[in-house]
Amino acid sequence: MFNPLKMQEMMQQANQMKEEMQHKLEQTVVEASSGGGAVTATMNGKKQLLKLKIDPAAVASLSGPNADVEMLEDLIVAAVNAAGQKAEDVMQSSLKGMLGGLNIPGLT
């Protein structure tokens, strides 16, 4: 028999889990670099870019007739994408842990 009180309790638990997950993702920090550390991107678990560090040597190489701005742009994109992937991996791992091994399509 359907119990509306039980359903309400389940919804409250789901909302609490969602809030816990959001808080955990905000507190999680991942970092990835490219170009041997020339560019480092720091991101939280919500895939928000927190910091972008560019080695001064990479910037110094931009002066003069042989400036390779495109290479620096590529390094930035690579570092940000790698950090985003790390954040995604952390999120998936956390979700699996919170769901206790449940295999819910689209979530894990």
Per-residue pLDDT at 102 exceeds 60: no
Give residue limits of the domains in the chain: 30-58+65-98
Q: Considering the chain, what percentage of its residues have pLDDT values greater than 90?
A: 41
Per-residue pLDDT of 57-79, as tens digits, reads 888 877 777 778 889 999 999 99
What is the reported pLDDT for 94?
78
pTM of the model: 0.72
Superfamily of domain 30-58+65-98: Nucleoid-associated protein YbaB-like domain (3.30.1310.10)
Taking the C-alpha atoms of residue 54 and residue 42, their distance in angstroms, rounded to an integer, is 12
- pLDDT (average), residues 37-53: 95
What is the reported pLDDT for 78?
97
Listed as own residue / partner, the contacts of 17-24 with beta carbons closer than 8 Å and 24 or more positions apart are 17/98, 20/98, 21/94, 21/95, 21/98, 22/46, 24/94
Q: Considering the chain, what percentage of its residues have pLDDT values greater than 70?
A: 89
Per-residue pLDDT at 103 exceeds 60: no
What is the reported pLDDT for 74?
94
